[in-house]
Every structure is written in C-alpha cells, then in structure tokens.
Structure 1
C-alpha cells in the first residue's frame, strides 16, 4: 500500500543515502517521456523538501529541455537489497548552469567533475513510498570508471564541443538551455 508524505523524513533520507542509484523522470507538454538512471556521488538532500543533484555529461539532455517547458520532475529510488521499498519524490526543479551566479555555492557540496552540465535544485511537494516486493535482488559491484575516463581524455573545450553537438536539443527538438 502506498503511503504519502508532505516531506522527507529521517527514514526517507537514510533510504536515499543507502541507494547507489536513482532515476529521474520528466516530460514536456508533448513528445517523449524521459526516465534516466543516475549514479556516482551526484545527489544531496538539503532539507525535508529540497534535493540537489548534479547532472553529468551524457548522450542527451532531456531533463533540462523538459524543464524549459514544464517545471516538474520525479525522482525515484528502489532498493535492490534487503528492504523492499520504492520511493518517489515529486516536485519542481530549477536548472543551474556553470555560468549562473549560484553555481559555485551549489557545486561546492559535490566532488568536482569537469563533465558536470547542470545542477538541478529540486523542490519537493510530495513523497510517496510503496512496496518493492517485485523488485529483484541485485548486488552492487562498484562505480563504473567510464565517465571519469571519458572526461580525463578530453579538454574542457572538447567537453563543451560535445555539449554543443549532443546536448543543446532534446530528441524531440526542444532547446535545453545549456550554454556552449
């Protein structure tokens, strides 16, 4: 049975901290719905109704493009270990780019990563938990080194060129707002 909460509790925060990955879901008013898995050390709970997460380079930039049109986001965690639980956080998000005045203040709480494209400052308006009885058990084997290796092999200009080539529009042609 699903349970709803107006904000994160201490138990919810502990659950988030115990997970190695989360998922983000967004959609514009038309076009495709996007659901992306996220990992690494890229998320911080800032309070009962606020989460920050750093969006690293990727093959697309759907989340940023969708938020340009409709400001809504769902974050989801599910346990693949002992505790059968799924948790979703619903809310809105503000996109912060490297050139924005508050980038440095928000980014200082995260490990530096040259491929960080945006920080999403998420305001939660609903937290919902549900059973994870059908979620399989999986073992965590560690972080992939691929993102760091990719960034290490490129100059800052080459990373920005990748953004200019792959990240200025969503797959539906919506602008993402990323400065290149």
Structure 2
C-alpha cells in the first residue's frame, strides 16, 4: 500500500518519466478562495532537478491560478497516476516558486524542457513530502496521442499579441489575486509544451 520516501528514488523517477500526464493543485489562503486543479500533458514539460526538487514548464494559457497562488503562499501538490496495468499514484507535496524569463535562473532551467513557442514561467518545487498509494480504482487506459493544439495556437501569435493576451487573461486569478510579476519585458519564446488552462 502507501509508502513515504525521503527523496525521489530511481524507481519513482522512472515512474514519473513514463507518465503521460500529471496534475497540479494549488489554493489561495482565503477560506472562500477556489482550489485550482490543472491537468498537464506533454512530459517534456517536467523534469526532476534532484532528489527533492522538481520543475515544470508553465505555458501561456487561459488562466494563471497556479502563479497567483504560488506568489501568495507557495503551497503546491503534484500528482502522477498510472493508467497502465500496474496501478500507482504518486503525490509530491511542496513549496513552489515561479521563475520568469527575466530571472537569471531562466537560461539554466529552460533547456531542460522540450521546445514550445509559449513558455510563461518555470515552476520550481521544493518537495517536502513524497508519498505513493495504490491507485486500485484508477481505470486502465491506452494513450492515443498527445495534443499539439496549444503549441499551434502560440505559433500563430506575435510576441505583442501574446503579451496583450497575458495582460487581459493572466493578470489576476479568478479570486482576484495578482498573477503577473511587475515587469515590462515581452515574453521570450524558445521552449516548453502546451496546455490551455494553467
């Protein structure tokens, strides 16, 4: 059944690498605030930095809940689950930080991901608790293909259009928390897979 780990073992890293998708959950501090849960596709958007640190590529999408929540309180949970014959769920509980393109750490992180046209930030997570569980009720399914619709959407936008989109759609969370950092630098393209609700 369930087990706790001090760090991401080679077996857990292999499980993560084989996962076709993962889930990200965050929440504001306010009791009336909405919990956000986002599915993430494209495993070239996720990387293990060391035994207790992971990161994923955050792409421009229709919302910015994760960024707003992390800027307020840093709490984040990542979940991987098996849809194959061997059932398993892996949860990573930790504290997250958004690294934006104007951060000195950006260049050292962005090369760890696949190439995508609309990177918004890199979410770096300091993992504080690593736990797996059985996943006995998760259905067994087959992956047909990954979607590339978000990449195609981004390829058809100029940098100015992407910046305007983020001002309009990504400035605040649905609960009104600020999501955009105070910067004027336009979005830099060059890496990262896609997704439409982040």
After TM superposition, the score normalised by the length of structure 1 is: 0.96
Local SS of the residue matching 1:74: strand
Partner of 2:15 in structure 1? 15
Partner of 1:38 in structure 2? 40
> For residues 24 and 171 of structure 2, what CA distance do their matches in structure 1 show?
19
> For residues 5 and 114 of structure 2, what CA distance do their matches in structure 1 show?
30
> For residues 56 and 177 of structure 1, what CA distance do their matches in structure 2 show?
13
> 1:175 deviation in Å?
0.3
> For residues 49 and 126 of structure 1, what CA distance do their matches in structure 2 show?
9
Matches within 5 A, 1:1-180: 1-30=1-30, 31-40=33-42, 41-178=44-181, 179=183
> 1:141 deviation in Å?
0.9
Q: Deviations over 1:101-141 (max 9, x none)?
A: 11111101112322111101111111000011100111111
What 5-or-longer segments of structure 1 have no aligned partner? none
After TM superposition, the score normalised by the length of structure 2 is: 0.87
> For residues 87 and 105 of structure 2, what CA distance do their matches in structure 1 show?
38
> 1:90 deviation in Å?
0.7
> For residues 6 and 139 of structure 1, what CA distance do their matches in structure 2 show?
31
RMSD (Å), alpha carbons: 1.1
> 1:27 deviation in Å?
0.8
